[in-house]
Amino acid sequence: MKRTAVNRIQRIADQIQRDLAEMIQRELRNPQLGLVTLTDVQLTPDYAHAKVYFSVIGAEPQTAQQILSEKAGYLHSLLYKRLQIHTVPTLHFVFDPTTEKAAEIDGLIRQALSHQAKDD
């Protein structure tokens, strides 16, 4: 694949991420959703599908994923009105556990450091 095509895919994926983040915050007013942060969007070369990776605070990841998946069609229609591309991708929401794992590792490091400080 040509470098310009890869750059275009990435630019469109970034625009989708920005637009979706704004739309989720403004349009989806569901208290069960919690605070959703979009961490990445991976777009297929034919623009047909987009994997939207998210993390969530204040809600169960499975619940947030279910709500986002149920609203994917609505979000798709809003994206269609905003984006200036021929094909607006079908949205597939995927929970990204990276943030949770990072917090867990940070907690373990802090715990080890506090035990080490007590021993010294």
pTM beyond 0.75, yes or no: yes
Query: Please, are residues 91 and 72 in contact by the beta-carbon 8 Å criterion?
Result: yes
Q: Write the Ramachandran bin of 47: left for phi over 0, alpha for psi from -120 to 50, otherwise beta.
A: left
**pLDDT tens readout for residues 19-36:** 999 999 999 888 888 899
Residue 115 domain boundaries? 3-119
**pLDDT tens readout for residues 30-87:** 888 889 999 999 999 999 999 999 999 888 999 999 999 999 999 999 999 988 888 8
What is the tally of structural domains in the chain?
Answer: 1
CATH of the domain at 19: 3.30.300.20
Query: Please, are residues 48 and 90 in contact by the beta-carbon 8 Å criterion?
Result: yes
Query: Please, are residues 65 and 43 in contact by the beta-carbon 8 Å criterion?
Result: no
Beta bridge partners, 91, equal: 50
